[in-house]
Structure 1
């Protein structure tokens, strides 16, 4: 896919967490094409180190990791205009509530809820001072369609993130900062493949059977396929642009029609 974004994000500084692969990489590339200065974070260096982004190695599931990112960006760039809280994921075993330990629950909430909360807290004061800024929280349709047998802590954390995002938007919208939630459904990424492999190992089946079971649990995807990362990135690119200047406090679902209710 190739679009002409006419440099609409020129002079904007953006951070995309988990921006080295999957949907995060697609979002970072989309913002770069729109003219933004883009910083990405991940635990490990991206395979493509020459794509024009600035990289900060950090484990955002730890408070020290988020503080490192905040400090480095403010020291080097002075401020942040756009924050995409994209990092997230599930590494807990399948098998329902009985196989989940406190550590499983705590790890999911650190990664999927508390990391965005800490980054927001680090960058919001500057946005409020300048009376401008955009924060996007990447949640998940699992906030509404939890998969109890495979990703229960992840789903609960994403539901908390969506609730927090709405509340935060009400607080900071009068101060010039827009806060939005994007909730994707199934996205065709390497992380999705790894999750299917973990479920398959837990269940004793194949990755294909695991994928079919997840699809069945979701009720199917009316569009007939998973989303491409670039499709999620295009929605995010619009939401952070001046064309979406009146949008705040809303959740945007991009799931191919998976959620069966309005």
Structure 2
């Protein structure tokens, strides 16, 4: 069971301007709320808002899987915020193909790359001038997936896109470090979100096992809560991590075969 966290410092991110893609539900909504709790001014973006979308954030609808969608988001967000200090690239999704790699259509490989990898490249690029203008202390956090390191054939297109995101993040961190802009990656394990739950249910049905079996091997004894990932993002974006860049923080309850 997820333990109730201590109250966030309401001044931790006071005055900081934050953009979170895929911020309408699940991990994204939890990240948005965590920054709001810390006093930040937050723009959340996704294709559409949901009942989970924090009301205190400014919501900008859009599709960051396309260059046009990214440009529209960047223009609108900068008009709202007047600049940006923190960008969290969380947008992502995948379709499960039980027939394996050979059953994944070509267009879905392209779609997976566009949403799960190129969206982060384009969003970061669109906001980079504003991040540079903000100065040292600006941060980019990219949300990856355990599928990038523990590939499963039904989701190979998704895992490959996230693996590309990991490589990009490391290279970007080295390039931007002299400007004082930090870049980090968070790799979630099995987290309870609407999208991940649907994937796990599909895999459980195919294997003829109960849904709980898909998370039963987690050493810490429970699946993740979106707030677990939000706390990791908050740490990396905070001054507590001022000497941390290029890292990939794995938040998985001990399940993945990486440290």
Question: TM-score under structure 1 normalisation?
Answer: 0.90
**Partner in structure 2 of residue 27 of structure 1:** 31
SS in 2 for 1:83: strand
The correspondence for 1:122, drawn from 126, 132, 139, is: 126
Q: Note if 1:85 corresponds to 2:89.
A: yes
Q: Note if 1:237 corresponds to 2:234.
A: yes
Provide the aligned C-alpha RMSD in A: 1.9
Do the aligned partners of residues 200 and 258 (structure 1) sit closer, same or farther apart at CA in structure 2, a change above 3 Å counting? closer
Structure 2: how far apart are the matches of 1:200 and 1:223? 21
Do the aligned partners of residues 28 and 180 (structure 1) sit closer, same or farther apart at CA in structure 2, a change above 3 Å counting? same
Map of 1:127-166 to 2, 5 A cutoff?
127-132=131-136, 133-148=138-153, 150-166=154-170
Q: Runs of 5+ in structure 1 lacking a partner?
A: none
**Partner in structure 1 of residue 218 of structure 2:** 221
How many residue pairs were aligned? 254
- Any idea what the Cα deviations from partners look like across 1:35-73, whole Å, max 9, x if unmatched? 000110111122256620100010111221111100101
Contact 1:23 1:229 in 2 (8 A): yes
Structure 2: how far apart are the matches of 1:240 and 1:130? 14
Q: Runs of 5+ in structure 2 lacking a partner?
A: none
**Partner in structure 2 of residue 11 of structure 1:** 15
- Any idea what the Cα deviations from partners look like across 1:107-143, whole Å, max 9, x if unmatched? 1111100001000000112212332310000001211
Map of 1:185-200 to 2, 5 A cutoff?
185-199=189-203
Structure 1: how far apart are the matches of 2:52 and 2:222? 27
Do the aligned partners of residues 207 and 72 (structure 1) sit closer, same or farther apart at CA in structure 2, a change above 3 Å counting? farther
